[in-house]
A = this chain, B = another copy of it.
Amino acid sequence: MSYTAWIISIGNELLIGKTVNTNAAWLAKKLTLLGYEVRRVITIPDNEEDEVEVFRDAVRRGIRVVISTGGLGPTFDDRTSEYLAKALNRKYVINDDALRMVVETFKAKGLELTEPRLKQAKMPEGARPLPNPVGTAPGIWVEEGNTIIIALPGVPSEMMGIFENYVEPKLREIGPKLHFVEKSITVKGVPEADLAPIIERGMKMSSRVYIKSHPKGHEIRAPLVEIHIYVSSEDVRNAENEINKIVDYLVTSIKEKGGEILS
């Protein structure tokens, strides 16, 4: 079994330079950390010809995991789900589970259930919807031959929310057998914004490290931040060496900033 991946970024805003493709970098990091090898990132416009071609190309090459972002919203040019159905030669149908999710979300938000919004419940036949903890459009999980295609919204918070809650656990389960080690440190006296560049440099120390900060105290008055460090590797000892190296770097840099390490 190979653990290859493609990322397909859909949207004209990326092709006119209006938006920097931070989604692709975020997903590439996550997939690498899970042990997948990202072979290609392809950015294409919201149009049938390109989307059908690229989805089919990924399936033909037997890429294991294909993640697309963009084109799941309610507007007329959000047609990724429809083009994906076409690429897989499947019907484009109302998915009952997706319909329940969409109806619930709209009720909860007090929104009217209009035709364009109902469209968000339509998917390729045989697909599974992925709940959206942030917005209204469910993600899509569909398998074709050896390939899993996951379509996510382009809004970063929605893309991340669906990925972390419903995609990451499954990809970890079916991915390579990696060892994960994690550590947490709690920092007093340095606001999260000042920790950001330190964390960013730490993230670049290894391709399979992920560092996340969780603010606990008051951002300015009494900053207290928990930093969670997470490393994956085929080899336990290697993972432990990596995490120690990164924790050492973080602790040194934070102390230089006048921060106190509580644990």
- Enumerate chain A interface residues (CB-CB to B < 8 A): 9, 14-22, 24-32, 38-45, 50, 203-204, 207
From the candidates B9, B14, B29, name the one contacting A16 in the complex (CB within 8 A).
B29
From the candidates B22, B44, B207, name the one contacting A18 in the complex (CB within 8 A).
B207
Enumerate 14 A-B pairs (CB-CB under 8 Å) in ascending A order: A15-B40, A17-B25, A17-B27, A17-B29, A17-B30, A17-B32, A17-B38, A18-B204, A20-B22, A21-B24, A21-B25, A39-B50, A40-B50, A41-B42
Using Cβ atoms and an 8 Å threshold, which residues of chain B touch A16? 28-29, 32, 38, 207
For the complex, give the distance between the alpha carbons of A204 and B14 in Å: 12
Nearest-Cβ distance from residue A137 to partner chain B, whole angstroms? 23
Q: Are A20 and B25 in contact (CB under 8 A)?
A: yes
Using Cβ atoms and an 8 Å threshold, which residues of chain B touch A45? 39
Q: Which residue of B lies closest to A31 (CB)?
A: B17
Q: Are A25 and B14 in contact (CB under 8 A)?
A: yes
Nearest-Cβ distance from residue A209 to partner chain B, whole angstroms? 11
For the complex, give the distance between the alpha carbons of A19 and B29 in Å: 9
For the complex, give the distance between the alpha carbons of A31 and B14 in Å: 12
Nearest-Cβ distance from residue A210 to partner chain B, whole angstroms? 10
CB-CB under 8 A for A21 and B21, given A42-B40, A44-B40: yes
For the complex, give the distance between the alpha carbons of A144 and B80 in Å: 34
Nearest-Cβ distance from residue A81 to partner chain B, whole angstroms? 21
Nearest-Cβ distance from residue A71 to partner chain B, whole angstroms? 16
For the complex, give the distance between the alpha carbons of A212 and B218 in Å: 37
Closest CB pairs A-B (n = 9): A17-B29, A17-B28, A41-B43, A16-B207, A20-B25, A15-B38, A16-B32, A17-B25, A42-B42
